Structure 1
Amino acid sequence: MSRRTIRTIAAAGALLLAATACNSASTSSGDGDKGSSARGVSADSIKVGGIVSMTTASGYSKKDTDLGAKARYDRANAEGGINGRKIDYLGAEDDGQDGGKNMAAARKLVQQEKVFAVSPMSSTTFSGADFLEKQKVPTFGWGTLPSFCGQNKFLYGFNGCLVPMPGGTITQSWPEGLAHVLGGAKGKSVAIIANDNEPGKFSIRTYQQGFKTAGFKVTYAKANVPTTTAPSDWSAYTKALLRSNGGKAPDAIVSVMQTPYNIGLFTALKRAGYKGVLTDPTDYDPALLAKDATKQALDGVHVLLAFEPFESTSPSMKQFKEDIKKAAGKDVPLNMHMMTGYMSADLFLSIAEKAGKDLTVESFQKAADGFSDTGTMVGDRALPKGQREAFGCGALVQLKDGKYAVSSPFKCYEPIPFK
């Protein structure tokens, strides 16, 4: 079929979606007469969209990921854009943490909105990954999903790949940070629990190996908590956890779950008399302190961060806080979702800048291959290494008496081989 025939059909509207779906990311999308042959790129703008779980069945929301991305794009535009082009950020589609909606959002952004890139993508489901990869859409998000690791050339975790394939590596920031809190891993025991879904099962496999390598005794490692809604009765889980260490409680309990689940589990554990260390990777959010019940449930919990804590006084953190305030129009409580959006956008912008004035998927991917920088809020970044392993940096903060304090400083650790 000739290009003229395709245009005729598209103009008639008969096969618009089919024709768009068949086009590659570097095929003209109507912007070619404005100075670029890349979809979503004109002489003066780069079109970018996002996919974020803003609403979920459990009530957990990542909506501030969108604000974080906007804050970073706003600053880039205020500084003159990327090689003379402003970022036309469309905002994020809400996938409701639903696989079907995630795919629909990906298709909408590519086929209807004709974006050059998707950044951020933050959800526990990523059914649109294969579609975005096939359409050659550079996509940036939190590398907690297998799609951001391994063979996908166009998908990037803002802090690297956190769930590697065999042959890759595992970041040791959580085990080593917890060892710092406990005064060492030797003779210490941990129990790990996660949701009963693919990310949960993969997390168990990853962290079980990581904590063992760090010197911990892993007494329990199961992805067995339903994902639809948080259980109303946690007794079965607390009994199993508190008896996992030869009939005794482990020194630490590691929850690889979202906030509503952590609140329920930690409350039940405390009521059962557990005095050990509680830790998770999600509950770094000052907004959680607004409710006494939530604040009480999470009091004492050590939260894993894959970025500099907000308590840092570095120039980068100062800039981040200023950018968020400008984008929000006021002072707002900071949270990790803002950082996810901000650093996803930052990595995209950094690669796009390196790609130069002639921005195409090909020039972008060439810039990504061999990209590196140092001293960012997620540590030293390097590609394509970051598509196989994490950047390896992290910290722990503890919620205590209504505020967060650093319990293990931000540091980069040597990763271990994933088997």
Structure 2
Amino acid sequence: MLRPIRTLAAAAAALALVSACNSASTNGASAGGPDGASGISRGVSADSIKVGGIVSMTSAGGYSKKDTDLGARARYLRANAEGGVHGRRIDYLGAEDDGQDPAKNLAAARKLVQQDKVFAVSPMSSVTFSGADFLEQEKVPTFGWGTLPSFCGPRHIYGFNGCLVPSPGGTLNQTWPEGIAQVLGGASGRSVAIIANDSDAGKFGIRTFQQGFASAGFRVAYAKASVPATAVPSDWSAYVKEILAADGGKAPDAVISVMQTPGNIGLFTALKRSGYQGLLSDPTDYDPGLLAKDATRQALDGVYVLLQFQPFESADPKMAQFKADIKAASGGQDVPLNMHMLTGYMSADLFLSIAREAGKDLTVESFQAAAQGFSDTGTLVGDRALPKGQKDSFGCGALVRLTNGAYEVAVPFACHEPIPFT
């Protein structure tokens, strides 16, 4: 059954953007604490705030989140153009590449803190976050996409759209199941198959989405984290065979893939070749760059993609501002937009918003105090509130569909009532 939906109120305030100038002016304070002589935190000087990022710019499978860095640069560039944060410019060092490697992720975190002396890490975007314990220990405010457990609970780590992988006692974002129910005309009597990679993240995704789709009224006919996480299968026939017989010997009404683009392309292509006529959906393939190749465009044609932010096709003034900011950060060039850009942009935006609330005397302590009572409304990810967002998601999203080589909004951006995670 569909839950009540409340549409977000549009806000008139424009989002701001950002820069990547390296500055030598930094205080050499110890990790997370103020300098005894000046009272200024590590990474904060009289006229700048030093920030770095950690992003999977490369990976063994060829998947890249490199545009997350561009999105963050865009947001910081605009912030600096508007006078910075209480007169301090953002000295964005750019993102370290962790290659989706846990060892490199931790090494990047250590470098940013111990060598570069950053005040904050924003964005952090990877499928691994082995540096989380170190960053929390060093009291480094860190911002990224809350798709990993480390974004749910630690005091200094924040998801730009909240906590998306909660512990029992938290809540689950219902955007995906409620959106699919709208597309199908209701969930009653409908079945879904959910498939993910054989990894910790994949297993957790199966657990959460299985509960979410069942709560929305779907029959979950298949839910497995069975696809190898380290390499894309060359033969999908075994997976397709299982899925097509999952609903009592027949195909489910929808196949939900919790995988990255290479896996989705392989699975969806195989399902289509088998004659599958049901709905296909994933949370990653909102990227105009994917449409450049015929094979990729055909594989993703008709697929519904989950977004947890306003679609690029939205007429919201804040989306127009985002596009202008990305263009400015790209040297005036019109570049294809993708969700990684938005991830970096909104990670930077949340950091900047809290830093402004912290006031002129910026320390880790003043930043954390501001975060504990922070809230705003009508952003590109909906209404934000902390510390709620360190336990729950902000509950908002949309679905877009690739049709004839172009994305179109299938379910408009809205907020859904979350459900308890057990």
How high is the TM-score relative to the length of structure 2?
0.92
Whole-Å separation in 2 of the counterparts to 1:38 and 1:198: 36
Map residues 6-405 of structure 1 onto 2, 5 A cutoff: 23-28=30-35, 36-150=39-153, 152-329=154-331, 330-405=333-408
Question: Runs of at least 4 residues of structure 1 off by over 6 A?
Answer: none
What is the deviation of 1:290? Answer: 0.4
Residues 379-407 of structure 1 deviation map (CA, whole Å, 9 limit, x = unaligned):
00000000001000000000010000011
Whole-Å separation in 2 of the counterparts to 1:27 and 1:378: 33
Residues 4-44 of structure 1 deviation map (CA, whole Å, 9 limit, x = unaligned):
xxxxxxxxxxxxxxxx9x9440143xxx76x5520000000
Q: 1:36 to 1:46 in 2, by over 3 A?
A: farther
The residue aligned with 1:15 is none
What is the deviation of 1:229? Answer: 1.1
Q: Percent identity?
A: 75
What is the deviation of 1:340? Answer: 0.1
1:312 alignment partner, SS class: coil
Q: Check the 8 A contact 2:34/2:363 in 1, yes or no.
A: no
Q: Which has the higher contact order (CA 8 A, sep 6+)?
A: 2
The residue aligned with 1:17 is none
How high is the TM-score relative to the length of structure 1?
0.93
Amino acid of the structure 1 residue aligned with 2:33: S
2:75 alignment partner, SS class: helix
2:91 alignment partner, SS class: strand
1:245 alignment partner, SS class: coil
Whole-Å separation in 2 of the counterparts to 1:47 and 1:242: 52
Q: Check the 8 A contact 2:84/2:90 in 1, yes or no.
A: yes
Whole-Å separation in 2 of the counterparts to 1:342 and 1:398: 23
Whole-Å separation in 1 of the counterparts to 2:359 and 2:368: 12
Unaligned residue ranges in structure 1 (runs of 5+): 1-19
Amino acid of the structure 1 residue aligned with 2:120: A
Amino acid of the structure 2 residue aligned with 1:99: P
1:212 alignment partner, SS class: helix
Q: Check the 8 A contact 2:63/2:261 in 1, yes or no.
A: yes
What is the number of residues matched between the two proteins?
A: 394
Residues 307-352 of structure 1 deviation map (CA, whole Å, 9 limit, x = unaligned):
0000001110010000000001110000000000000000000000
Amino acid of the structure 2 residue aligned with 1:271: R
What is the deviation of 1:246? Answer: 0.4
Q: Check the 8 A contact 1:36/1:42 in 2, yes or no.
A: no
Amino acid of the structure 1 residue aligned with 2:227: V
Q: Larger % of helix: which? A: 1
Residues 30-86 of structure 1 deviation map (CA, whole Å, 9 limit, x = unaligned):
xx76x5520000000000000000101111100000000000000000000001100
Q: Check the 8 A contact 2:31/2:114 in 1, yes or no.
A: no
Amino acid of the structure 1 residue aligned with 2:404: D
1:114 alignment partner, SS class: coil
Unaligned residue ranges in structure 2 (runs of 5+): 1-27
Q: Check the 8 A contact 2:395/2:415 in 1, yes or no.
A: yes
What is the deviation of 1:230? Answer: 0.5
